[in-house]
């Protein structure tokens, strides 16, 4: 089973994502702040990361940048999720190497479809 | 000012006769020892110079037979260049050398009447010349002053800086009036009141203290019994010195000076006051000039005050506008996160993944979902508007075919229309030229217009979306909009969304594009709008150098038009 790491300080959102992804036969690991997310990413080597931007301790941009500049982790697809939608934020997301950019509110089914697409 | 000597009866005409011959002296004595003449007869050279020096005669009669004649002529001309010189010539032939010094010649045996009339004619002539020269001098003075006033006026009109205006006033007085010291109490130079001392020479500390005290006294007397616009205190009053010749110093008492004082104010606005000192007396002209400058500066100071108020009010407004945009932006972002959680939960429940849902549960879940989508739409609209207003909206301009946009919107909305029993038909002009546009934003505009049409049209009616290419001169804009829409000349792609709905009253047409428009408030609420769709559409189209307007008739239907130029955006900018 493919491993998905969900990093978001909004527990409710993590919960709903976990629910639909598990229903689609993925194993989910959850972190509720940036530091835990980064540690968990290195520990479990997930197949894909769903990453929120605005988080306490380390924000999503930084985590993405740290992982994408490390040869060991750079091939892990990162789906960046945020409530921000300013164009400049999108640019920062791309610069950090995130593979996909999803704006809240999103369709859960769309997220599942995207995850499946990356892990085909 | 000039006084005619003949007007003054008491004035004695002073005559000096220079001759060493007694009979000649006696002759003139008998003539001039009456009427209004005062005659002296001298022959001693030194005594002559002393007298001429001490009490310049009006007329000197010189006997040409005197032996020191040549020297005397030169000296007298130097000592009293304006005195009338008449030579007493015994010989019939006149020495040419004498002509350059002479106003007239007497010869032996001349009658008394002839002598007196010659003197009077010469005196009158001299007097007229003096008057003329004085008038010329007055004229030159006035001209100089007028020039100074003129250049000061043009300086006044050239700035809205209050500190500069006060400085120009001081400089203007410097140019127009020759003074020793101006003492200006200014409320416009710095935030605190200041005393500007513009002086010819350096001022002693005692003198400065005296001037400070004087300024406070003058100022308080101006507002006697009235409320002061600002408290000033001679101990804490700040002094700015502008000294022309700092090497010299005023040594004498201020109270020996002549002075003038004027407030600088207009209506209720008080900008300061100015006092001017001079060693000699000021003339009435000086006073007029002084008052004029002090009054002239008040109006530009008032304008500058108003200008400053406008600038400050504008800055405040701009700040409020920015805060509002930021506030909307932050609030919208914060709203999105919980909204996502609600939406996700509803999605999961409605998918049946948590167990089967009864029909009535589904009804309420759908209701919740509909409202989540509506809330989400409102947040998006708010964000869009705040972005546009803050100038932060980015557009991806690219060649776009409007018919593609129309097809997309029709496909996206035909299901919704069908569910309300409405038909969407399309009437496109084939092969329209591309326009430079952000296709996604145009979809947003058109979706909004068609959604509105669906909302406000009753069952079994038709909504038509049409497109065509028109020239600006063939575009007809109705009276409600024509004053607000100015289309540049050229070709436009014109899109029309026509419905058979409730329509809009003519008086409300223009307001349909206002933010949070409240036309038929209850209805728009029932139909589920934010009131932001049309203002956003208007702003988006303006960013495309286009325009939006509508024709409508109550209970008949509306036609919403928008036009976008076919010229490239960079050609339009």
Query: Are A104 and B340 in contact, with CB atoms under 8 Å apart?
Result: yes
ipTM of predicted assembly, 2 dp: 0.74
Shortest distance between the Cα of B560 and any Cα of chain A, in A, equals: 30
By Cβ distance, the residue of A23, A85, A107 closest to B353 is A23
CATH number, domain of B231, equals 3.30.450
Q: Which residue has the tokens 């002693």?
A: B204
How does pLDDT run across A26-61, given as a tens digit for each residue? 999 999 999 999 999 999 999 999 998 888 788 888
Whether the Cβ atoms of residue B535 and residue B515 lie closer than 8 Å to each other = yes
* Residue B430 near chain A (CB below 8 Å): no
CB proximity B385 to A under 8 Å: no
- Please tell me the distance from the alpha carbon of residue B60 to that of residue B76, in angstroms, as a whole number: 9
Contacts of A12 in chain B (CB under 8 A): 338, 341, 344-345
Q: Which residue is it, tokens 């972005």?
A: B387
Give the span between the Cα atoms of B560 and B57, in whole angstroms. 103
Does some domain include residue B367? Answer: yes
Cα distance between residue B69 and residue B62, in whole Å: 8
Same domain, residue pair B121 and B47:
yes
B267 assigned to some structural domain: yes
Q: What is the 3-state secondary structure (H, E, C) of B34-55?
A: CCCEEEEEECCHHHHHHHHHHC
Percent of chain B beyond pLDDT 70? Answer: 93
Residues B340 and B478 occupy one common structural domain: no
Question: Considering only CB atoms, which chain B residues are within 8 Å of A83?
Answer: 333-334, 336-337, 340
From chain B, pick out residues whose CB is under 8 angstroms from the CB of A56: none
Shared domain for B126 and B192, answered yes or no, is: no
The number of CA neighbours under 13 Å toward the Cβ of B54 is 7
Together in a domain, B253 and B350 = no
Read off the pLDDT of residues B442-478 as tens digits, 9 standing for 90 and up: 999 999 999 989 988 888 899 999 999 999 999 988 8
HEC string of B435-498 equals EEECHHHHHHHHHHHHHHHHHHCCCCCEEEEEEEEEEHHHCCCCHHHHCCCCCCCCEEEEEEEE
Domain co-membership, B462 together with B444: yes
How many beta-carbon contacts under 8 Å exist across A and B?
51
Smallest CA–CA distance from B340 into chain A, residue: A105
B401 and B379 within one domain: no
B336, B344, B372 ranked by CB distance to A108: nearest: B344
- Domain tally, chain B: 4
Same domain, B40 and B91: yes
Q: Does B347 sit within 8 Å of A10, measured CB to CB?
A: no
In the predicted structure, residue B165 carries a pLDDT above the cut 60: yes
Query: Which band of pLDDT confidence, cut at 50, 70 and 90, is reported for residue B252?
Result: low
Confidence (pLDDT) at B528 = 55
pLDDT tens column, B490-510? 999 999 999 998 888 888 888
Note the pLDDT tens digit of each residue in B105-131: 888 888 888 888 998 899 898 889 889
> Is B230 part of any domain?
yes
Between B37-51, B181-195, B248-262, B287-301, the lowest mean confidence (pLDDT) is in B248-262
One domain, residues B99 and B182: no
- Looking at the DSSP bridge assignments, the partners of residue B350 are none
In a domain, B145, yes or no: no
Arithmetic mean of pLDDT over chain B = 85
**3-class DSSP state of B15:** strand
Q: Is B434 left (phi over 0), alpha (psi -120 to 50) or beta?
A: beta
Collapse the DSSP code of A56 into the 3-class scheme (helix H, G, I; strand E, B; otherwise coil) and give the result.
coil
CB contact under 8 A, B344 and A84: no
Residue B345 confidence (pLDDT) above 60: yes
Is B371 a domain residue?
yes
Distance to chain B for A22, nearest Cα, Å: 11
DSSP reduced 3-state for B557: strand
Q: Report the alpha-carbon distance of residue B253 to residue B261 in Å, rounded.
A: 18
In a domain, B137, yes or no: no
What are φ and ψ of residue B495, in 5° steps? -115, 140
Provide CATH code, domain A3-118: 3.40.50.2300
**Taking residues B207-216, what's their average pLDDT?**
87
What is the rounded distance in angstroms from the CA atom of residue B65 to the CA atom of residue B69? 8
Among B334, B339, B341, B369, most A C-beta atoms within 10 A, so best to mutate, is B341
Task: Name which of B399, B465, B461 is nearest B429 in CA terms.
Answer: B465
Cα gap B201→B195, rounded to integer Å:
17
The verdict on a CB contact (< 8 Å) between A16 and B392 is no
Which residues face B199 on adjacent strands?
B181, B243
Q: Range of B347's domain?
A: 309-388
Domain identity same for B445 and B374: no
Looking at the fold, whether B565 and B469 belong to one and the same domain comes out as: yes
Closest Cβ–Cβ partner in A20, A85, A105 for B339:
A105
Predicted TM-score (pTM) of the model is: 0.52
How many other C-beta atoms lie within 10 A of the C-beta of residue B258? 15
């Amino acid at each position: 089973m493919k491993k998905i790491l969900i990093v978001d300080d909004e527990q409710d959102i993590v919960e709903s994502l976990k629910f639909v992804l598990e229903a689609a036969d993925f194993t989910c690991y959850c972190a509720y702040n940036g530091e835990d997310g980064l540690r968990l990413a290195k520990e479990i080597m997930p197949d894909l990361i769903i990453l929120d931007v605005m988080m306490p301790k380390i924000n999503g941009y930084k985590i993405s940048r740290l992982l994408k500049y490390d040869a060991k982790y750079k091939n892990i697809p990162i789906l960046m999720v945020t409530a921000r939608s300013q164009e400049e934020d999108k640019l920062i997301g791309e610069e950090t190497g995130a593979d996909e950019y999803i704006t809240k509110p999103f369709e859960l089914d769309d997220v599942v479809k995207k995850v499946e697409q990356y892990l085909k | 000012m000039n006084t005619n000597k003949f007007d003054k009866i008491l004035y004695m005409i002073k005559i000096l006769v220079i001759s060493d011959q007694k009979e000649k002296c006696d002759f003139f004595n008998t003539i001039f020892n009456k009427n209004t003449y005062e005659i002296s007869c001298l022959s001693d050279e030194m005594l002559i110079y002393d007298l001429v020096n001490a009490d310049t005669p009006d007329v000197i009669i010189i006997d040409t037979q005197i032996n020191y004649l040549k020297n005397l002529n030169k000296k007298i001309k130097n000592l009293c260049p304006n005195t009338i010189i008449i030579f007493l010539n015994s010989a019939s032939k006149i020495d040419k050398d004498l002509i350059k010094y002479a106003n007239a010649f007497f010869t032996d045996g001349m009658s008394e009447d002839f002598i007196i009339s010659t003197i009077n004619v010469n005196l009158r002539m001299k007097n007229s010349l003096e008057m003329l020269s004085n008038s010329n001098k007055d004229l030159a003075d006035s001209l100089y002053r007028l020039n100074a006033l003129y250049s000061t006026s043009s300086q006044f009109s050239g700035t809205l800086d209050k500190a500069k205006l006060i400085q120009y006033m001081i400089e203007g007085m410097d140019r127009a009036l020759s003074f020793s010291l101006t003492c200006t109490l200014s409320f416009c130079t710095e935030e605190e009141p200041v005393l500007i001392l513009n002086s010819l020479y350096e001022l002693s500390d005692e003198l400065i203290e005296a001037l400070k005290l004087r300024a406070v006294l003058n100022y308080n007397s101006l507002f006697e019994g009235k409320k002061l616009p600002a408290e000033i205190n001679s101990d804490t009053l700040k002094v700015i010195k502008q000294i022309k010749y700092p090497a010299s110093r005023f040594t004498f008492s201020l109270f020996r000076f002549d002075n003038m004082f004027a407030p600088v104010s207009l209506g209720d606005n008080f900008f300061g006051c100015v006092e001017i000192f001079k060693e000699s007396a000021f003339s009435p002209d000086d006073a007029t000039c002084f008052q004029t400058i002090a009054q002239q500066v008040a109006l530009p100071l008032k304008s500058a005050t108003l200008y400053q108020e406008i600038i400050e009010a504008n800055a405040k407004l701009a700040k409020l506008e920015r805060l509002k945009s930021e506030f909307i932006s932050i609030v919208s972002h914060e709203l999105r996160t919980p909204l996502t959680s609600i939406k996700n939960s509803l999605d999961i429940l409605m998918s049946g993944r948590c167990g089967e849902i009864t029909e009535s549960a589904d009804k309420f879940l759908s209701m919740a979902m509909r409202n989540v989508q509506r809330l989400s739409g409102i947040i998006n609209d708010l964000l869009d508007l705040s972005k546009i207003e803050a100038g932060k909206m980015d557009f991806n301009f690219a060649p776009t075919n409007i018919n593609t946009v129309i097809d997309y919107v029709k496909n996206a909305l035909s299901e919704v229309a069908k569910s309300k029993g409405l038909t969407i038909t399309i009437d496109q002009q084939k092969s329209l030229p591309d326009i430079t546009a952000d296709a996604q934003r145009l979809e947003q505009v058109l979706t909004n217009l068609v959604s509105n049409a669906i909302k406000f049209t009753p069952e079994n009616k038709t909504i038509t979306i049409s497109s065509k290419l028109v020239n600006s001169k063939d575009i007809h804009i109705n009276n409600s909009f024509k004053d607000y829409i100015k289309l540049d000349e050229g070709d436009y792609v014109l899109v029309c969304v026509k419905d058979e709905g409730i329509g809009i009253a003519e008086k409300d047409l223009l307001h349909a594009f206002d933010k949070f428009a409240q036309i038929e408030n209850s209805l728009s609420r029932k139909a589920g709008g934010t009131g932001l769709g049309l203002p956003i559409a208007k702003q988006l189209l303006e960013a495309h150098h286009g325009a939006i307007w509508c024709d409508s008739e109550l209970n008949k239907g509306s036609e919403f038009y928008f036009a976008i130029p076919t010229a490239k955006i960079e050609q339009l900018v």
